[in-house]
Structure 1
């Protein structure tokens, strides 16, 4: 009699995804490639690397001119939508070749936010440019894009959308952990001891700092490299007090903001009210503003640990000010401690959101955005092959762990699946 043996457990399915991101600093496109493995209620993300390319000078100028408080035309919007889409497409092709050995299966593109229509604490609409058809045509892969609009249509803020990913990453950490991203705008997700998440935009991250750098250098510098100017300056208390009086800061979460509020004209109005100041003092004051508003937003939750990402983490002056504002009882570390490079964390997060959309799973957290309920986010643009969607998992993943990549994983031969072009 042959003894009974249980069949081996099914092999966990994996998908290689490229996440594309350009944040509110509007200076470059980032592509992060990941192998995402689904096993029951767990997701495992294996980072395969990141590549980044700045927008060319002409596109960057056209984008800066069109953004608030500038004026634009539909012709400008069409050109920007096309050229941004082409820039994303070029980087996606490069990421597939250099990071995935040509075996990527899906692209998740956040696009470039150009307007977030927020008024009276409510978001009425949002617009991200970067036509996904250019990406699908160049790569031959299906593209998930337009993530924010569905959350807004469901009554949500449409941001920050990384709340679900942050909750999965922070799950099980001791104390009250928070994930912070300091891009043009700073956003945070907090996980309270009972597992209840909260997410919000705290206010400007680098947006006003970058505007000041351009203002004082007549456009020669886009940012205060390594916070050098700010480190030479002294905080100007009247300017800081005036900026801290902004009504946005006292709005309850969930809330979101953008360059529609915190733009160069906003800064010039504040500077005109206090009189001429040396550039280093203005940069020092704006650095303190970002640090103070982040810390003030996190303090009511009793946060014990902050895992930071985004371009702001490369500014020593800003990180020193934030550490001071948070206090000695709060541990401030880069998201690299979780295995996610701080420069690529948001691109990896959108790769996961794209995976969720492909599998018919909600990508928003209503508690974090204010939406009426969980929603599958975005739209899918097919690649070269007919689009065959995978089966929806019986359970949505609850945790996300980051695993170290082995180099062999990048070149492992695989058969083309229903998502890959032949």
Structure 2
């Protein structure tokens, strides 16, 4: 791809569900003040079963070892590399200017409401070696170092993409954790985690089915249950929900042991437990945007759960809740595309976080760069590329 600020980019993502590596390819081209994104397709490849098991057993509240961390850093890096090579070959015609890897979060260290550090595994050298392309990785750490929460980082993408849309449009991602980008009239939008989306739902489903089901497909089990007000009240009593934004959380807090502790010794039918967890996600998301949002644009795996989406709509009467697919961004590829856009910014030396969005003291260029086969390195601001003010998604030619 040629032209001012033009790159063919592959974005790689694996979220808090830690079940697959998502790759999204796109062409990015700067046209005056607009960054034009043309999707080229996306892939979702499950982790090898043995690697996923090792990941699960290393996640909080479990303990782990340096050997396991090394094995996971290598194994995840090789898994990302294999998916990246497929994406370059199958989606990009055999050539990509840049690969951007989020890696796999193992731990997000939050203490006293502030992010102290964050750990993503998936060594980028494996990706550079497999594709020959330079790789941007480690995007969260610089934001944390600058005083930000390090998550969610999709705020810049959301703000550019939804710029100019009438009203107050909130972008919502329903992954393992739910996060929102909320516009503010007096400055940059806030980007923060509202609480669990699928994290507790998936953990509960595996628990009540003895591991037979990894998740509640289409919310079928939850749809047959009834919400238990007493349990919902206990779950809503979690202090995280009352903390001011920006804020971030993860499976370090919202895991199976946490849930079982709040359920207590009372026997609750599986369907009622899942129905109550659906209500928890819908309520906490709605509470975060109630009175502000005139429209919600949702993406992520949770949008494939009609029971969850219906509960969210019921919590936000009069506020349209639509999917990102309706606006040209495939819901399953959105986060990978967002990281592709962040990597584009890094390549040209541009900040990847809007002022105040994550709580960082100042805007920073995100990530580190692993050179590709020919040693190509970012031109940075020497390329003369100015920050775009909007993102235009164009259909593939």
Structures share fold, TM-score greater than 0.5: yes
1:303 paired residue among 289, 293, 313: 293
Counterpart position of 1:409? none
Instruction: Give the Cα–Cα distance (whole angstroms) in 2 for the partners of residues 140 and 197 of structure 1.
Output: 36
Deviates more, 1:329-338 or 1:14-23: 329-338
**SS of equivalent to 1:172:** coil
Kept after mapping to 2: 8 A contact 1:156/1:366:
no
Output the TM-score relative to the length of structure 1: 0.91
Q: Does 1:162 align with 2:154?
A: yes
Match of 2:347 in 1: 358
Deviation at 1:128, TM superposition (A): 0.4
Residues 131-164 of structure 1: CA deviation (Å, up to 9, x unaligned): 0000001111100000000000011100111111
Partner of 2:170: 178
| 2:53 is equivalent to residue 49 of structure 1 | no
- Structure 2 counterpart of 1:285: 276
Show the 5 A alignment for 1:262-277. Answer: 262-272=254-264, 275-277=266-268
Flag the structure with larger Rg.
Answer: 1
Contact 2:139 2:366 in 1 (8 A): yes
Cα distance 1:179–1:303, how it changes in 2: closer, same or farther (>3 A)? same
CA distance in 2, matches of 1:338, 1:194: 26
SS for the counterpart of 1:400 is strand
Residue-by-residue CA offset, 1:65-117 (whole Å, 9 max, x unaligned): 11011111111111111100000000000000110010211000000011000
Deviation at 1:222, TM superposition (A): 1.2
Q: In the alignment, is residue 372 of structure 1 matched against residue 364 of structure 2?
A: no
**Separation in 2, partners of 1:195, 1:403:** 27
Match of 1:323 in 2: 313
Q: Per-residue displacement from partner, 1:388-413 (whole Å, max 9, x unpaired)?
A: 4334335211110100001xxxxxxx
- CA change 1:334–1:58 in 2 (3 A) is same
- In the alignment, structure 2 segments of 5+ residues that lack a partner are none
| 1:78 to 2:67 alignment | no
Q: How many residues align?
A: 394
CA distance in 2, matches of 1:326, 1:402: 27
Give the 3-state SS of the residue equivalent to 2:6 in structure 1: strand
Q: Which one of the candidate residues 203, 208, 212 is aligned to 2:204?
A: 212
What is the root-mean-square deviation of aligned Cα atoms in Å? 1.2
Counterpart for residue 239 of structure 2? 247
Q: TM-score, normalised by structure 2?
A: 0.97
Can you give the 5+ residue segments of structure 1 that lack an aligned partner in the other structure? 1-9, 407-422
State the SS of the aligned residue for 2:357: helix
Contact 2:218 2:307 (8 Å CA) reproduced = yes
| 1:194 Cα offset (Å) | 5.4
Cα distance in 2, alignment partners of residues 219 and 58 from structure 1: 15
